[in-house]
Each structure stands twice: as C-alpha cells, then as structure tokens.
Structure 1
Amino acid sequence: MTPATTRHPVELRYATTSDVDTRPEASRVLLALEGSRGTVGVRGKVREPALFRDALAATLGILASDLRYQGRDRTAYLAYLMKQGKRATAQIWEAQKAFLDASLQTEEQKDTVLDPVLTVDPDQVSLEVFSRDESAYARLAFDSALFEGREAAHGSTFLDVPKDLMAKVDRLRTYVPLSLEAHVALPAQEARAPRNVEVPHAWLRGFLQVQSAATLPASTCTLAPIDLYNLLFALRTRKAKTAPRALRFELIPGAVPRLIIEPWELVLECHASVYTGTVPAVVRTFGRQRLAALARLLPHAQNIRVRLLGPGLPVFWAVDLGQATLTLALTGWTESGWSSAAAFDVLMPRAVPDGLPERLRQRLRTEGPLSFEALAAQAGAPKDAVRAALQLECLRGRLLYDIAQETYRPRELMPTPVDEATLRYGNEREARAHRLLGDGGPGAGEVKVTKVHEVVGEGTRIQGEVVDREAVRSFFPSFTLDLEGRVKEASCGCPHFRRSALREGPCEHMLALRLAQTRQRAEQEALRQTPEGRQRITAETRAYVRREPSGQEQVYRVSLDGKVVAVEWGPRQGASRQQKLWFDTDAEARTAYFSRLESLAAEGYIDAAASMM
C-alpha cells in the first residue's frame, strides 16, 4: 500500500455533541471533548464575548474552507437533452449517474480529516484546525485572563464540531453574559457511539509539516491593522484574470515593509514598525485570497506579525487580539503545484542525536513553554541538532511551536507518537524519486540538472538527465515553473509520462529533477558567499530590484553563462534594455559578474532571485 493511500485509524468517543445555549439572560458555549485521553476541560465566564465569538467563528470558518475545484453535476442537463430528443441516450445518463455516485462516495472517504485539537495549558486554551484542502492551518489561543473564575484540567484532546456549530456561534449576542464549558465526562446514558475515523496520511502529513515549518528560520515583519484592512480591501475590489497573482513583501532594514499586489504592481506602504532584519529581502507569497478569513478580526486586532520562510513554504500570519491570538498559516503546496515536494524535503529534519528529542520534550513538560535559545543553552548539543530534534518532535505530533510567543509547547496530537517515516513521502513515486537521488534504499541512480533557463515573464525552464539503474536507461525530464510556482509544459520519456502525462501526477524522474534543482540552488547560495564557492559557479541568473521615490520599480537581471555576462534592466512594467559582454576566460566573466552584483547592492538594489523560484 503506497503512502498516498495509507490511512491512520483513530477512534473518537464523545459523550455528547457541541452546542450553543442562548437565553435572554445568559448564553453558554458547550464544547464536547473526546473522552479517551483522560480528563481534559475548561470552564469559566468570558470577559469579552465579542472577541470570543468573532475569533471562534473565524477559526471554524477556516476549518470548513475548501477552495478546491468542485465539478458540476451534469446529470440534470443530460436528462433535459434526452427530453429534447438530443444525442444523450439513457445509457450515457445512467453511466454518468453511476460515476457521480462512486465519485461522491470516494470523495467523502478522501475528505475524512481529524477533528480540531483543543489543548488546555496553565496560561492559555488553544484550538488547532486544518482546512480540508490543506491550504490553511490556524491556531486560536485564548489567554487564561479572558475567563473569569477559570477551572481547568490540562491536556490535549479532540473537539466535536457539528456542521451547524459555526452558525450557532455566529448568533451569539455580545451584550448577554457568556460562559464556556469544554468537558469530557457526562452521564453514561447520554454517551454517543464511538466514531471511527481513517485519516489519510497525506492530510496528516500536511497538518504536521505546517507546524514543523514554523520551527525554521524566517524573516519577520510587523503590520498594523490598517495595513491588513488596505490589503483585504484591494483584493476584494479587484480580480486578477492572469498570472502572476502573488503578494510580494519588500523588506529593507530600517524601513517600513511594503506590500506589492500582483499583477497590478499596487504598492501598499505599511504603517507599523520598521523591518529589523539585517539583510534586505523580497519574498513572494501565494494564497492571498485566503486572508479574507481574517477580516472578521480587524476590530479586535492590535498588530499582525508575518513570518516569511521562503518560496514554496508556508507563510504565518499571527494576529494579536489582546487576550487572544490567531495564527494563520497559508501553505505553499497545492494540487496543481506538485513541485512543492521540494518544500516538503526542506521540512524533514536531518540527523538527530539519540535521546535529544526526549530530553527536550521532558524539559518542556517540567518547565513549561520555552524559547529556542533557552532550550539550546542547556541542551548540551549544537544548535542545528537542537533545531532538528524539535522539528522531529513537531512531526511526531508531540510538540508545537507557538509563533505568537516564540516558544515551544508540549502537545500530544495522538495517544501514541506519529511515525515520521510514514509521512516522509507523499506517494510511491516520490519515494522512488528520493531513491534516485541516493537518499537510501535500493535503486539509487544519478540526477543531473543540465539547464536552468529564466524566461522573463513566463517562469523557469528546468532540464536534466536522470540515470535510472532499475530501468537500465537514462531519461531526460524537463518542465517549466510558471510565475506562481505551478508546473506546465512538462515532458519525459518514461512509460508513466507517455501513458498519462501529468493527469496522474508527475513521474519519479521529474520529482527527482525538481528536488535536485532545489538542493543544488541551496548549495550554491551557501557556496557563493565564499571565494572557493564562487569559482564553482559557471552559470546562474540573479534579479535585483529597487523602488524609486516615484514608486516605480527598477529591475536588473544579470546572467552568467560561461564566458558571457548578460544584463537586462528597466522598469518592471515597461520596455527594458539589454547588454551582452563576452570575455576571454570563464574567470574574467565570473569576476565581472560578481562585480556587477556588488555594485548593484551598493546602489540600494535588493537581491530578489530567491523570490522568483
């Protein structure tokens, strides 16, 4: 059975159903918790009913969101054609009806996901949800000070969410006193029959790797609530019909961040604190329409912190609501962007010393939430090993990283740790792709990236050669990444691609090429900072940008290809100029290439090459 079809069985036992009790004199939110994890619960009077209602409703909205394409049921239309005497026979109608019934049944099984996770800690109560389409993860945390007369039993368990719970929460009136009761134990006669849930490993993999991504180093900037309002207003009043559709961040040390909305190149100057990073950066993010889920929180928002990991990785929006915090993570992987397998590769921890994860987890259990620096100071291991151990525990579902407070917290997602080996690969083809790269197991091959061509205005063309020793032959896969990171114009000579092209997903040779290209790029970024590493670079393209006082953005694209240095410059929206320089040796061309890059950096241009991938 392949990882894509493997399911994780979970038995959920609820004594009752979550509900909202609204009366003229008082309202009460009753949350039913799963009872097999021991005594977990919290109760108390809510001090700010409006904040509690809006934050909980927004979180439940993220849980129910599904932005995947929904096909239309054409059965009624075919029946109409039959009545009109058109060429739609009864056999076609019956066949399509049977197909739709089977598809809906399969879709229901595929969409089975875990219930939200509720965690009660001494300092807060948190709720974690993950959307059905794996596009958004949210963690809502209420401070203990929000509840008057708080009574709590600490721990983690699942929360029952019926379909009408969000509508009932939405009808709460803020002028009526409100109380919360989340509990497990109820009289035996009210107990419900246990519910067996088989969660696809693909869904569980995304849920856990979002939290693993939160542990990675990132660029962080702060926005004001008015900045988020301006962004949402601009997106609501415009509709992009053509690519690219990214939200671009321009981060310059000592200056306030800028938000640029593509494809209109609309610049939004932010009004919060300046960017405190040491290196300027331009980061392109996708999934901006999902930010509409935060609109309801604008009246309560005090500031918004955005954590940017890099291309293809999740983006975290932490909204400070005073006595509550909502952290929204927008994932970088989609069904149409299978190149995100490279992003998952980054999220897997490297070598971890034996016993280190258990020691760190035990310390968090004893001392409570701790920052990475506090954990690394007394871990007795290098910081890279400590970070990898924490990342591994997040993948196992035993820890989570609280972005709002920048601390690690213990949280048991399952009664037993999730085996990270089952989450390593999304499907069997991805596992074979890693074997081709020599990541262990039989069938190791050789993967070469032969050409990476930047096509201005279209994307990046990647070509390579894969030596498949199991097939005893070589393949030459190639594909184009468009400006939104999606794959198009792919080709390969293997039987899988000849049979179904990309309809059943990419072949292992394309995945191996994409992974090899991503790893090669990461190695080049590290090596190009040293003189020895620069001598190994014979071909690459870098893009540098600078925004003029008038608001117009100037773009320089500098390419090195053997003995040739090509320069293209001009405004982003407008005609550009080009220049090519030929040199006698590769060394002379390399020296001129890096001298041009250094001069651009000295003139205030920002290296934006990473954001283009």
Structure 2
Amino acid sequence: MPNVTLQYRAPSALDASSTTPKLALSAALGGLNQPFFQGQVRQPRLTARALTCLSRAVGERWFDAAALAEARRRMLDPIVTSGDSLLRFEGFSGCRSLYVRVDLLPGAVDVVHQSAGATNVDFNQAMRSALTHIRSQDAMSLSVDEMAFTLIHGDEALVEHKVDLPISWLRGLASIPVISSRSESVCELNGRQTLELFRQLPRTGNGRDSHWLQLGPRGARIGRVPSPDAIQLTGAKRLLVLQELLPAVKRLSISTTPERNLTLWTLHFDDLRLTLALSPEVWRGFSGEGAALDDLARESDPDLDQALLDQFESGFDAEDAAIQLNVSLPAARTSLASLASQGQLGFDHLDQRWFRRLLPAHQALIQKSNPRLAKAESWLRAGAVRVESHSPDRSRGEIQIDEKTSHHVAIDAGAGRCTCFWFGKFGLSRGPCSHILALQLATRVSQ
C-alpha cells in the first residue's frame, strides 16, 4: 500500500474536564484525496505576488464595467496543474479577454511529492489577503489534490476547494493552445527596459483605445501612431495588472501572432514566469475565438486521444505524438485539438510544447463548449448540407437553413469562405463560421 501524507487543521483533542469526556477529531486537509503536489516555496514573497497578480487579473472585467463587481465575486477560480516538473496556475479575466498563467519552474519549490494532476479552485478573500501579507523570510508550502488547494503559511493553513469550471473557460482553453502555437517571439527586454516600457502604458481612458508597440534596435516603445511593423495594442491598460511584479523582473519576452494584433507578454524571474495573453480587443474574449474549430471539424479517434494521454507524462509536440504513436501528423493534431477542447491539454508557447492538464472532462463537453460545431453537426444530421464538389484541395457546398435561407460555402486549400453575415463581419479571424464547419464535417477535409 503506498504511503499517504495527511495534513490536519489542528491536533485532535480529548476534553476530560466534564463528567462526559469528548473526543474532537480533526479532519485531514483536502479530505481523503492523496495530494499530487506537495512542496515548500523557495521565494515566498515573489510567488505570493505572482499569484496575487493572477487573482487580480481573473477578477477584472474590462469590457463591461458595471459587471466588474460580479466578475470579481464569481470568477476567481484558477486552474492548478502539476506535471513536467512544473506547477502551473491558469485563468481568464471575467470578460475572457485576458489569459494569465503562472509557471513555477523546477527551482521554485523544494518538492516533497509531485505527480500528474489538475484541479480548479476558488481563491476567496481569505486566500488573497494571506498572499498579500507573505514576506520573503516567511515559510510557505503548497499542497494540491484533486479536490483542494492548500496554502500553509506559518501555523496557518488555508484551503480552497474545487469549484465548477465555466464552459466559457473550456472554450478559451481550446483556443489558447492553437493561438499560442502560431505565435512567434518579437522582442526581448531586460529589467530596466521593461520598466521604461510599462511607464508608457495608458493610465486613463476606458481601456478600448488603440496603441501600437513599436520595435526598434534600442528596445520597444508604445505610441498612438501605427507604422508598418508595429503591433496593435487595443486595451493596453490591461497590462497594468503586472505592475506590482515589475521591480523584480529579470526580463520580458513578447510574442505575437501573424496578424500582429494579439500579444503574449511573459515576465521572467529566476525560477518563475508569468504570461499574459491579450486578445485583440477588450470586448473580444478568447472564449469566442474558435481557433481550434478547424481541427475539431475533423473526426477524432477516441482510442488515439486516450493513447496520447497514456503515452506522454511530460511536454511534447505534435511531431513527437505522431512519431511515437505511428499516426499521421493531421491525425495527431486532431486529437490534440479534441483533448484541448476538453481542458485536457495546454500549450507552452515559450517551450513550444504541449502539457497535460488532466481536468475531469469527457467528449460531450466538445459540443457544449463549441456551439458553432454543435450547430454544424445538427445541420449535417438534418441533411441540410449539400456537397456540390469535393477534392483534397477544393470543396463547394450549400447549407439550407430553412425554406428561404441558404448559404454557399467554398473551401480552397483549407481556407473557407461563406455568404453568411457572420463571415462577412469576421472572416476567419475568429475561426470558421458554422456553415464552413458543416461543409468540413460533410467532406472531412484534411488540413
């Protein structure tokens, strides 16, 4: 039988002061679940500040100020993932326009026990208050099991229990890996240059103003006038959630996607890093990006999905998966997208590697978390999709919505076009529309 380490809120006690003795048994922290991570933090103050920044970012809502209080009250539940010698904390802002991740690297914690596992918990006011009071010389330990996250600070143990994961977070978790895998690093700044850049951020306004990140041989600056090579920063005010960590930062790396309107900002410390991903606008949440829908439209093999989870306990890329499991690269990518849509996988854009995030999930969540895909599948089942022509590189079709409405779809070399209003407004910037997905499902286009 394996050894199980249990921690208790207080010692059990026998009260014999009365004629009827009473035995008070203390419950174990985290219940009967064996922790998948236990360790003592080496830099308590820095780690606490990073988790505080994550908590503040998750509690913000830049799009709808009237809903800010509600967002801060309800959406403070980071996902905690152990594996690949790292401990990761992830979350989305209340408006889903910001994704944040804290990575505790191997040197950040004196590990007592670590295995693969994940949970999502609520950081309530008591936890956030405790984090703000932790000093560099304090002792700080962490314990995580499937049902709870425990912070031990001195003689105090704070426990946060598992909460339900919002469906909108699952949509965001499916999009972020695809977006991150398309990004490339464009800038590296040292600590002094990082401070200078952040001093240029807007402090006033509604957060919807457009600024531009200008890159040059001497570093980077933020301005209001675009240039051919500039990177768009709408809602740059969102970056201010990082300012508490800036005095200790070693360097900053910035990545962007080919469209140069979505950015990933990573603050690097000795054994810790914090990444913020900013959506193109504050009103544009990652939950609506639909970046994984093209892959999800291809048929996933449940056996291959499970083989992927069984084979890889540490970081890997799509090529690794295809070679190790002896499958085609498109098949591996389809399974990766399927698992990411269920919250089972994440992607680290710095290492260009997938990591396991074993949240309790199942295949049915794909439809719930991707309404466009669900709608396309319903049209396919109803016989509303007519394939006019199909070849590996070219497809044409019509989707009959009702007696009076139909939409024509064309797919060339994997890129779709549609006559619907949604495609006319967004194009492919937020993933394919439901009509393109319907034709992809009907033809099972390989990309």
Query: TM-score by structure 2 length?
Result: 0.67
Work out whether residues 186 and 255 of structure 2, in 8 Å CA contact, stay in contact via their aligned partners in 1: yes
Work out whether residues 58 and 293 of structure 1, in 8 Å CA contact, stay in contact via their aligned partners in 2: yes
Q: Indicate yes or no: 2:236 matched with 1:288.
A: yes
User: 1:472 maps to which residue?
Assistant: 404
1:360-439 equivalences in 2 (<5 Å): 360-365=308-313, 368-414=314-360, 416=362, 419-425=365-371
Q: Which has the larger radius of gyration?
A: 1
| Distance of aligned partners of 1:516 and 1:313 in 2 relative to their CA distance in 1, 3 Å threshold | same
User: 1:568 maps to which residue?
Assistant: none
Q: What is the aligned counterpart of 1:351 among 288, 294, 298?
A: 298
Distance 2:58 2:287 in 1: 22
User: 1:331 maps to which residue?
Assistant: 279
Q: What is the aligned counterpart of 1:117 among 79, 83, 91?
A: 79
How big is the shift at 1:325? 1.5
Gaps (5+ residues) in structure 1?
A: 1-14, 18-31, 73-103, 187-191, 268-279, 447-465, 476-507, 522-613
Distance 1:519 1:410 in 2: 25
| Distance of aligned partners of 1:236 and 1:164 in 2 relative to their CA distance in 1, 3 Å threshold | farther
How big is the shift at 1:257? 8.7
Distance 1:241 1:182 in 2: 39
DSSP 3-state at the match of 1:297: helix
Q: Indicate yes or no: 2:307 matched with 1:307.
A: no
User: 1:163 maps to which residue?
Assistant: 125
Percent identity, please: 18
CA deviations 1:511-542 (Å, max 9, x no partner) are 24335566999xxxxxxxxxxxxxxxxxxxxx
1:97-136 equivalences in 2 (<5 Å): 112-113=74-75, 115-121=77-83, 123-136=85-98
Q: What is the aligned counterpart of 2:201 among 231, 235, 255?
A: 235
Q: Indicate yes or no: 2:58 matched with 1:147.
A: no
User: 1:316 maps to which residue?
Assistant: 264
How big is the shift at 1:395? 1.3
Distance 1:285 1:394 in 2: 27
Distance 2:312 2:291 in 1: 27
Distance 2:235 2:308 in 1: 34
| Distance of aligned partners of 1:249 and 1:389 in 2 relative to their CA distance in 1, 3 Å threshold | farther
User: 1:66 maps to which residue?
Assistant: 61
User: 1:210 maps to which residue?
Assistant: 176
1:556-567 equivalences in 2 (<5 Å): none
Distance 1:520 1:324 in 2: 33
Distance 2:286 2:354 in 1: 30
Read off the aligned partner of 2:172 and give its amino acid letter.
G
Work out whether residues 63 and 95 of structure 2, in 8 Å CA contact, stay in contact via their aligned partners in 1: yes
Distance 1:515 1:445 in 2: 24
Q: What is the aligned counterpart of 1:223 among 179, 188, 194?
A: 188
Work out whether residues 357 and 389 of structure 1, in 8 Å CA contact, stay in contact via their aligned partners in 2: yes
Work out whether residues 223 and 304 of structure 1, in 8 Å CA contact, stay in contact via their aligned partners in 2: yes
Distance 2:234 2:118 in 1: 32
Q: What is the aligned counterpart of 1:39 among 35, 52, 62?
A: 35
Work out whether residues 156 and 413 of structure 1, in 8 Å CA contact, stay in contact via their aligned partners in 2: yes
| Distance of aligned partners of 1:115 and 1:469 in 2 relative to their CA distance in 1, 3 Å threshold | closer
Distance 2:37 2:287 in 1: 38
Q: Indicate yes or no: 2:443 matched with 1:511.
A: no
| Distance of aligned partners of 1:151 and 1:249 in 2 relative to their CA distance in 1, 3 Å threshold | same
DSSP 3-state at the match of 2:177: helix
| Distance of aligned partners of 1:285 and 1:443 in 2 relative to their CA distance in 1, 3 Å threshold | farther
Query: TM-score by structure 1 length?
Result: 0.51
Q: Indicate yes or no: 2:49 matched with 1:54.
A: yes
Distance 2:268 2:46 in 1: 12
User: 2:167 maps to which residue?
Assistant: 201
Q: Indicate yes or no: 2:191 matched with 1:261.
A: no
| Distance of aligned partners of 1:470 and 1:112 in 2 relative to their CA distance in 1, 3 Å threshold | farther
DSSP 3-state at the match of 1:299: helix
Work out whether residues 234 and 281 of structure 2, in 8 Å CA contact, stay in contact via their aligned partners in 1: no
| Distance of aligned partners of 1:296 and 1:352 in 2 relative to their CA distance in 1, 3 Å threshold | farther
Distance 2:377 2:420 in 1: 11
How big is the shift at 1:180? 1.0
Read off the aligned partner of 2:141 and give its amino acid letter.
L
CA deviations 1:121-155 (Å, max 9, x no partner) are 36122212222221222221212322346344542
Read off the aligned partner of 2:62 and give its amino acid letter.
L
Q: What is the aligned counterpart of 1:178 among 139, 153, 158?
A: 139
Gaps (5+ residues) in structure 2?
A: 1-6, 10-27, 149-157, 388-397, 408-418, 433-447
